[in-house]
């Protein structure tokens, strides 16, 4: 399938694109014009778009859309709102208009019921609002909420569901593998999962 990936040049996104290709899918990398795409590989289709100002038609031709982007830990709350909340919501709306078969959201532990006293309160609230927008969109969706991410590849030994340790870690490689599986796993439709690496 053709899979549009928002955040394709990020630490998780690069791993995701490679795993999608290995699984036989055709990734479309949604990137800003200023992004370094040298690690994506020549076989990956590049589509330019900025999550702070997405143009209509950006999802055309995609079977599945994956939101794996983020404003990053070094940006302020305004960029968190523009990318993690508003950018995600805009991409969801455009995906719905394009009749994509599924939208996969990379969310975060804590986004289900954000703790206002958390250091990440603003970020988690933004993710919460994006997740709720997806649930209400009418799209076939999967929401993956990993715990704290590490830059490891992981070994595929993961846990999904209520038994996940909220204070644990999830390897970015494992997260990418779960997102890849979420593209066409029929049993995951309309589900939200917590995730960690064992």
Residue 73 predicted with pLDDT over 80: no
Contact, 29 vs 44, CB < 8 A? Answer: yes
Residue 25 predicted with pLDDT over 80: yes
Could you give the CA distance from residue 169 to residue 83 in angstroms, rounded to a whole number?
A: 24
Could you give the CA distance from residue 190 to residue 87 in angstroms, rounded to a whole number?
A: 21
* pLDDT (0 to 100) of residue 43: 86
Residue 156 predicted with pLDDT over 90: yes
* pLDDT (0 to 100) of residue 42: 85
Contact, 5 vs 68, CB < 8 A? Answer: yes
For residue 124, what is the enclosing H or E element?
A: helix 121-135
Residue 90 predicted with pLDDT over 80: yes
* pLDDT (0 to 100) of residue 58: 97
Residue 68 predicted with pLDDT over 80: yes
* pLDDT (0 to 100) of residue 99: 96
Could you give the CA distance from residue 82 to residue 15 in angstroms, rounded to a whole number?
A: 24
Residue 75 predicted with pLDDT over 80: no
Contact, 27 vs 65, CB < 8 A? Answer: no
Which carries the bigger pLDDT value, residue 33 or residue 92? 92
- Residue 91: DSSP 8-state: H
The structural domains of the chain, with segments of one domain joined by +, span 2-197
Ramachandran area for residue 72 (φ above 0: left; ψ -120 to 50: alpha; else beta): left
Please state which architecture CATH assigns to domain 2-197.
3-Layer(aba) Sandwich (3.40)
Residue 193 predicted with pLDDT over 90: yes
pLDDT tens digits along 118-155:
889 999 999 999 999 999 999 999 999 999 999 999 99
Tokens at 13, concatenated:
């996104």
Nearest to 79 by CA among 68, 69, 66: 69
Residue whose entry in the numeric block shows the structure tokens 């796993």 = 185
Residue 168 predicted with pLDDT over 80: yes
Could you give the CA distance from residue 66 to residue 13 in angstroms, rounded to a whole number?
A: 10
| Mean confidence (pLDDT) of the chain | 95
Residues marked as catalytic: 123
* pLDDT (0 to 100) of residue 71: 84
* pLDDT (0 to 100) of residue 49: 96
Q: pTM to 2 decimals?
A: 0.96
* pLDDT (0 to 100) of residue 41: 84
């Amino acid at each position: 399938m053709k899979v549009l990936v928002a955040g394709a040049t990020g630490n998780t996104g690069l791993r995701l694109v490679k795993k999608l290709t290995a699984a036989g899918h055709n990734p479309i990398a949604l990137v800003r014009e200023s992004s370094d795409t040298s690690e994506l590989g020549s076989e990956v289709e590049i589509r330019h778009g900025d999550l702070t100002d997405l143009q209509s038609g950006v999802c055309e031709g995609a079977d599945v859309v994956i939101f794996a982007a983020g404003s990053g830990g070094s940006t302020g709350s305004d960029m968190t709102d523009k990318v993690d909340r508003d950018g995600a919501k805009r991409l969801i709306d455009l995906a719905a208009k394009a009749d994509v078969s599924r939208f996969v959201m990379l969310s975060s532990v804590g986004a289900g019921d954000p703790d206002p006293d958390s250091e990440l309160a603003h970020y988690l609230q933004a993710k919460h609002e994006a997740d709720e927008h997806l649930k209400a969109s009418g799209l076939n969706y999967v929401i993956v909420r990993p715990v704290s991410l590490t830059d490891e590849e992981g070994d595929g030994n993961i846990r999904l569901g209520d038994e996940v340790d909220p204070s644990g870690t999830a390897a970015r490689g494992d997260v990418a593998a779960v997102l890849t599986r979420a593209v066409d796993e029929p049993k995951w439709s309309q589900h939200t999962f917590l995730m960690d690496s064992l």
